[in-house]
Structure 1
Amino acid sequence: MANTSNRTLRLLSLLQSHRYWPGAELAERLDVSQRTLRRDVDRLRELGYPVEARRGVDGGYQLAAGAALPPLVIDDEEAVALAVGLQAAAQGPVDGIAEPSLRVLAKIVQVMPGRLRRRVEALRAMTVTGGWGGPARTDVDPDVLTSVALACRDTERLRFAYTAADGRRTERHVEPLRLVSLGRRWYLVAYDLDRADWRNLRVDRIADPAGTGARFRPRELPAADAAEFVRARLDAVPRSHRVEVLVDAPAAAVRERIGRWAAAEEAGPGRCRVRFTSDSLDWAALAVGAIGADFRVVHPPELVDLLRDWADRFHRASSVPPGRLTRAPVTSAGRTGRPDRR
């Protein structure tokens, strides 16, 4: 059985992770009797935690909302994940979030044990924000992210398994340079020793990173910075359609709506030019429609045809009285069939 202090902390952690615990299940998780559990709950109450109890056969315990936020008990992985999430929030586009996120992050890092502080500070120092709106996703394994950040900071060669987009798994031996948060993803910019070339590698596809102990002198990156390198590589990926539209709205307003996956630049008073690539014209139509402003398609002409088809379909749908909707024939391409007008 764990000592009293450790057991009390374990009880607090369980109560914080679950809204309600049946008493018998909670005692079993702690490997104590119901009587000992009641004493531990009383000890938490003495420390200021509002623990509510429900009596009876199905009785149990839960933390109530208190007048003040009590100290939280989190493990190492949760602490790193919290720091990563706050770092992402500080880079996000939501007004009023960045500064409080940085303040909380500074407080958390200050009270972290040395082993965790070293990992989180390495992540903060080695991350470059690439723009394109929105913070990077936080579903990347925090251990992988911080291990890579440490290797970047310490200029230590790194080995790991990497899964490509087609599912093929390869072993990589690299000299890591920087982490880049771009387009809601994390990328590692590194020199691949086996391929003798620079690579941008998605961190969510990296597994089991391990430092080799071998230090290196950083090579010259063929770009102004790591973020520009990743953007250039992503832009070079072949896409089915390159879309360009003129929008009757300021570029700043458009970026707030679709800045995660499109570039908007001013094109005159109250007007901007929007460019992006897409594998699907249907998705492109949804994207420009989500802007919420009038626009004119510059390229490709196929998008104009699709929008006309959608406009006809939406007009028919809006003009049908309730209860009179009929199903139109659908072609093999998934669009509504219309008579040949030739």
Structure 2
Amino acid sequence: MANTSSRTLRLLSLLQTHRRWAGGELADRLGVSERTLRRDVDRLRELGYPVHTSRGTDGGYQLAPGAVLPPLLLDEDEAIALAVGMGEAARSAITGMEASAIRALTKVVQVMPPRLRRRVDVLREAMVSASPAEPVVTVDVLTTVAQACRDEERLCFSYAARGREPSSREVEPHRLVTLGRRWYLVAYDLTRQDWRSFRLDRLTGARPTGARFRPRDLPARDAAAFVKAAGGVPEPHTVKALVHAPAARVRTTAGQWGMVEEVDDHSCVLTMTSSSLDWPVQALGNVGAEFEVLGPPEFVAYVREWGERFVRATSPGPASRRAVQHGQVDQEDPGATR
């Protein structure tokens, strides 16, 4: 049998990785009696961890949100930084990072007070605003859906498909997928009796029903393949540009959007992957340096189109002259609207 301290840490880890544990199952995992388990749970409570106990056939132990963060783990700022960072890491292009990041995010948010969750949402929205192509998904929606997938628990929500009024859905959630800088839920829709993929930014009021289900076989190789087959994900573009600026400068202004490879002291190659060509143009513009597009051809044409549009904006046309005549624009500064 492990000593008391290591066993308590093991108990805490188990409580953080599952929504609810039956007492007998938890005791078996720890290799102790249910009486010893109760003493260990009391010890966690003394340390400030909000472990709830429920009785009956569906009873057991659950680590619940508390009024404050449990002690000896993270302070509030560290918890917020971790939640925001894991949310960004879950959308990263690093292979295998998504699943680990969402598990870490779920553990932190599960015990986070509502006021800290709101701060996480505010920070994530502020970060997302730099890339308008990326829809906003709140941390509450993300973690609620992730926990339902983990616990094999039916989920209810309101969903607004493109061009349609919101409708109520009850589903058996399967997996979360991030593709094209968007979040998708792959689930079996109980109303339509078929598999569906749902964009999380169009999903509101997500709540678990408490009803468990036995997982069905997904009609695809994996969840990502299912979302792609549904036709809702645009193919990503891999954009490359030779930027005539030091690599350190480019990493500071655009490094979060892609990979920067140094060529020499005065130039580097910036590589970005996105389903939209808008934000690579904006990222390159933010650098404030000369650059050459290395590919793909559609990005060359897109940058040329943007450039021509900006050039036209500096040459007042008939509409601009009419605006001046009607006093809507300062004649000394055509770009200043009253």
Q: Which has the larger radius of gyration?
A: 1
Same fold by TM-score, threshold 0.5 exceeded? no
Query: TM-score under structure 1 normalisation?
Result: 0.41
Query: TM-score under structure 2 normalisation?
Result: 0.42
